[in-house]
Amino acid sequence: MKLLLNSLLLICFVFVGNAQKKDAITILGKDNFAEAIKDNNIQLLDVRTPKEYAEGHIADAKLLNYFEKDAFRKYAGKLDKDEPVYLYCRSGNRSQKAAKILVDMGFTEIYDLEGGYMNWSE
């Protein structure tokens, strides 16, 4: 009986933890993202490669290459976890993965550009 209760508690904690991760990440369309980043005091991250960044990026975005995992975590660790983070990549795939890393690091308010820079530059 005790084993059954412990197993049920573990399952509950897993589901609650996953729900909190999903709540921390919000996907924003291009117009809503543009409105949200008008404030100059935001944490705006471009998680693409340096080559992609050099070809064009959103003004004031800080390059933080998702593929350089150690550097990504080191720089992200210096960000203010109590302030929102806005991020994007080329199409939305890497930024979703980067957002999950940020949640695991303790960030609670993350906004991801739907469709990434491809959507932004259309």
Residue 14, φ and ψ in degrees, nearest 5: -65, -45
Catalytic residue, candidates 37, 44, 47, 89: 89
- Is 89 among the catalytic positions? yes
The torsion angles phi and psi of 58, rounded to 5 degrees, stand at: -75, 135
Catalytic annotation, residues = 89
